[in-house]
Structure 1
Amino acid sequence: MSEIITKQQNELANLIKRYAKNDGVHATAIPSLFFIRRSVVSGPSYGVYNLSLCLVAQGAKEVWLAQERYEYNPADYLVSSVILPVTSQVVEASVDVPYLGFKLEFTVNQILEVLRDSEIQGGAKENAKRGMFVSRIELNLLDAVMRLVRLLDNPKDIPILAPLFTKEILYKVMQGEHGGTLEQIAIEGSSARQIKDVIDHITNNFDKSFRIEELAEKVNMSISSLHRHFKEVTAMSPIQFQKQLRLQEARRLLLSESTDAAYVAFRVGYESQSQFSREYSRMFGLPPKEDMKRLRSQYDQTISI
């Protein structure tokens, strides 16, 4: 990593520390920009990545998409081009040198705007590619990121300049080696865009059962093409994708509402409590009740630290 990039990373780390004084995920005055701070290496966490660009200013993190592992540190950036349920874990962090992360969410419309206003040649439909990738960071992208983050010190400039700098960041990413992945998500009628539409439908209706034939008809694909392209983008089948969404939401409800597991199972779409408990245990390592005890114990230990 060059000396200039290292200097930029240090400035980014200092800015994140100033605006994220405690561990956790922190919203900022810039819509869709979040800072993450972790002072300990903990167990895996489960969540859903929206369309987003993620950087590490300090420390390191790994993300699991199904059975695929993506690790990134200050030399890299990670992009999720569609909604994806993932498992993530901070792998380098301490009280003295906390993990410091940057996350910028974006939309398909913002990608389309870049395509319309730039010389990037969008329009050719290609086969769908994996919806997550890691690339080495370059100075021109980091420069654009820093321009956006520095706006936090000049909040009156945010409404005008934040959209421009966000557009510049997307433009730089789309000029990179995996930029075509973002382009395909925005191109109407491409297999990547069709799969994104299926993902959005499942995400918005994860508690309802579906027939694969109906999903295929909705996006004008054959059943075999839908299965093939869906797995290419998400590394899992539509049913596996829905199952992860259901179980993650069930865990969130159990932790936040301290409610009954049978009731939660019904709320997220399970008709069989035994099936819910079995699949929950397979994903999180323990049945719901024991998992809640473990999570609350870990939370109490973190508070005491």
Structure 2
Amino acid sequence: MIKKAENNSLVMRQQQELAQLIERFTVHDGLHTTAIPALRLSRASQASRPIHSIHTPRLCIVAQGRKLVLLCGERYHYGPSQYLAISVDLPISGQVVQASPECPHLCLLLDLQPEQIFDILKESDPAWRKRVDSRRGLVVSNSNAGLLDAAIRLVRLLETPQDIPVLAPLIIREILYKILQDEHGDTVKQIAIVSSQGYQIAEVIRLIKQDFAKPLHIDHLASAVNMSTSSLHHHFKKVTAMSPLQYQKQLRLQEARRLLLSGATNAANAGFQVGYESPSQFSREYARMYGLPPISDLKQFLATQTV
């Protein structure tokens, strides 16, 4: 009990130190790029509305505040001393649910590359390289002292830019190693083991994203990754929480909304550009996802820009 209490105390101190570092390098709200290409820092001084986007493989370590992520109806809450790992491209909705000017939401985001993970597996215990069953491509877990220590050292490198080229790759490798050692390490591991279904589903996702405006042919996708159509459906849903058709729909609607809100096109053309042949179907599915039909959503967005 004493040892556990000491460890919890250490993790709390590390989390506070990480928060102080992130706050130092984020003078205003938003997502900040850094001199370390794979590293970004996020700050928010108030709770936010849900933001829909395609999240690429990444690690998110929260130092302060809380966030809610939704994946096809599944809810994932995470806060201080926790991390969220995403191992495949996923269309999700995320919102800050706890933040204030005095205590902003602060988060570290680190891109995950399959090649880096594979290199670690190649030099580790052979048991790590065994094929793993497909599993959800998103997980929330508790940060440990080793992971937080490495994260602190990575952010602190921003104080000495001359050290970044040599030390940043080593610390990032250490962070990935710590994640792979975690009880949920297989979630990340699956995208680097070529023989795993998770790796195959990542390839299917790439193919869907490549031509998401075109009709979806499941048999062609299954053939491309040497899976049966039934196996593809089963493992795709295990990894993404949705079917390939639902995944494509989310891609289409997110791109349509991006086009619409950027002023690149009008509501009528946005649906056609992403593959919808029926304006009424596009409007209906858009409203189901975003709460308002396209034109109303655009009006509300423009109104918030003028406030």
Q: What is the TM-score normalised by the length of structure 1?
A: 0.95
1:80 has 2:106 as partner:
no
After superposition, the C-alpha distances for 1:91-131 in whole angstroms (9 at most, x for unaligned) are: 10112211111110111101101111223623322320111
1:67 has 2:67 as partner:
no
Work out the CA distance in 2 between the residues paired with 1:97 and 1:128.
38
The aligned residue for residue 146 of structure 1 is 152
What are the equivalent positions in structure 2 for 1:173-252 lying under 5 Å apart? 173-252=179-258
Partner letter of residue 99 of structure 2? A
Work out the CA distance in 2 between the residues paired with 1:293 and 1:103.
32
CA shift for structure 1 position 48? 1.2
CA RMSD of aligned residues (A): 1.4
Give the conservation status (yes or no) of the 8 Å contact 1:216–1:226. yes
Partner letter of residue 57 of structure 2? L
CA shift for structure 1 position 36? 1.1
CA shift for structure 1 position 189? 2.1
Work out the CA distance in 2 between the residues paired with 1:258 and 1:226.
35
The aligned residue for residue 131 of structure 1 is 137
Partner letter of residue 286 of structure 1? L
CA shift for structure 1 position 3? 2.4
* Aligned partner of residue 169 in structure 1, secondary structure: helix
After superposition, the C-alpha distances for 1:137-189 in whole angstroms (9 at most, x for unaligned) are: 10001111111111101111111111111111000000000112222221112
The aligned residue for residue 99 of structure 2 is 93
Work out the CA distance in 1 between the residues paired with 2:277 and 2:97.
37
Partner letter of residue 149 of structure 1? V
Gaps of 5+ in 2: 1-6
What are the equivalent positions in structure 2 for 1:101-120 lying under 5 Å apart? 101-119=107-125
1:20 alignment partner, one of 6, 18, 26: 26
What are the equivalent positions in structure 2 for 1:11-50 lying under 5 Å apart? 11-50=17-56
Identify if the C-alpha distance between structure 1 residues 285 and 178 changes in structure 2 by more than 3 Å, giving closer, same or farther.
Answer: same
Identify if the C-alpha distance between structure 1 residues 93 and 300 changes in structure 2 by more than 3 Å, giving closer, same or farther.
Answer: farther
Work out the CA distance in 2 between the residues paired with 1:106 and 1:184.
12
CA shift for structure 1 position 287? 0.8
CA shift for structure 1 position 299? 4.2
Work out the CA distance in 1 between the residues paired with 2:254 and 2:126.
37
Work out the CA distance in 1 between the residues paired with 2:176 and 2:306.
40
Partner letter of residue 222 of structure 1? S
Identify if the C-alpha distance between structure 1 residues 23 and 300 changes in structure 2 by more than 3 Å, giving closer, same or farther.
Answer: farther
Gaps of 5+ in 1: none
